[in-house]
Amino acid sequence: MAERTPIMAGNWKMHRDHLEAIQLVQKLAYHLEEQDYEGQDVVVCPSFVSLRSIQTLIQSDRLPIQLGAQNCHSEDEGAFTGEVSPPMLKRLDVAYVLAGHSELRALLDETDEIVNAKVAAIRRHGMRPILCVGETKEEREAGQALEVVVSQLRGSLAGIEVTDDDAEEVVIAYEPVWAIGTGLTATPEDAQEMCAAVRTELASLYGQAVADLMRVQYGGSVKAGNVRSLMAQPDIDGALVGGASLSSEDFALIVGHRRAS
């Protein structure tokens, strides 16, 4: 299996104003050790209103933390009141942008076509998309989990070119919808099975060599108590962390899971 750089990303959703966000990142940096950054990307994804504040903090304190955004529009500019464009995020030194998060798919009816346009726009402006795919509880119980995830993956990556030179620039986050915010977590074996299925589909789209280099995260109630067993799986290359990333101590434990106990 190819060597891949794990990515540990915290998605704060609609939590924390810009002052609270600054405190959270300061405390996170305090709790993390130099070795925690080695060989993995540490990313925080605050709300849009906090991006500038966190960008300034990261730059001024020279923190090895990368900045992520939770969403963006697919167009560079236009009459899209309330939206944020990729160029705006790029000017803020945003490195990663979430695309197709299950909450936006469900609440805003985002289709694979909309997500696909966002992924293309994110890449066009030199940022890295974290493409989210995952099934609901009803779909899993109906035996449709794999079908749903593969369909989302194909639709969201339609026409998106990935080569072995930029394979790590496109990140896939498998997030079972039934595990988000519920306290439920896929077993390491189930998470591995689905992430391996994602990689198999990536191989059908781009070839095995490229698929082996692409990063596949797991997201869904990741905590300090389960992160090690999840990260030990061969096809899981990091975590997309929700609620636990709102605590600097908890997120630091997740990021630092490789430390000796």
Residue 186 covered by a domain: yes
Question: What is the C-alpha radius of gyration for the chain, rounded to an integer number of angstroms?
Answer: 17
Alpha-carbon separation of residue 38 from 5, 24, 111, 118 (angstroms):
10, 21, 37, 30
Domain count, the chain: 1
Within a domain: 1? no
3-26 pLDDT, tens digit per residue, is 899 999 999 999 999 999 999 999
Confirm whether 261 is domain-assigned. no
State the SS3 of 25-55. Answer: HHHHHHHCCHHHHCCCEEEEECCHHHHHHHH
Asked if the model's pLDDT at residue 185 lies above 90, the reply is no
* pLDDT attached to residue 68: 98
Q: In DSSP terms, which residues pair with 132 in a beta bridge?
A: 173
Could you give the residue numbers annotated as active site? 101, 175
Kind plus residue range of the DSSP H or E element containing 173: strand 171-174
Domain-embedded: residue 2: no
CA–CA–CA angle 216, 222, 226 (5° rounding): 105
Is the pLDDT assigned to residue 58 strictly greater than 90? yes
Read off the pTM: 0.96
pLDDT tens digits, residue range 163-184? 999 999 999 999 999 888 787 8
The pLDDT of residue 151 is above 60: yes
In a domain, 260, yes or no: no
Domain of 99, in residue numbers: 7-255
DSSP letter for 111, please.
-
Give a yes or no: residue 205 inside a domain: yes
Model pLDDT, residue 200: 98
| Within-domain flag for 16 | yes
pLDDT at 141 over 60: yes
Say if 108 falls within a structural domain: yes
Portion of the chain with pLDDT greater than 70, in percent: 98
What CATH number does the domain containing 236 carry? 3.20.20.70
**Residue 226: per-residue pLDDT:** 94
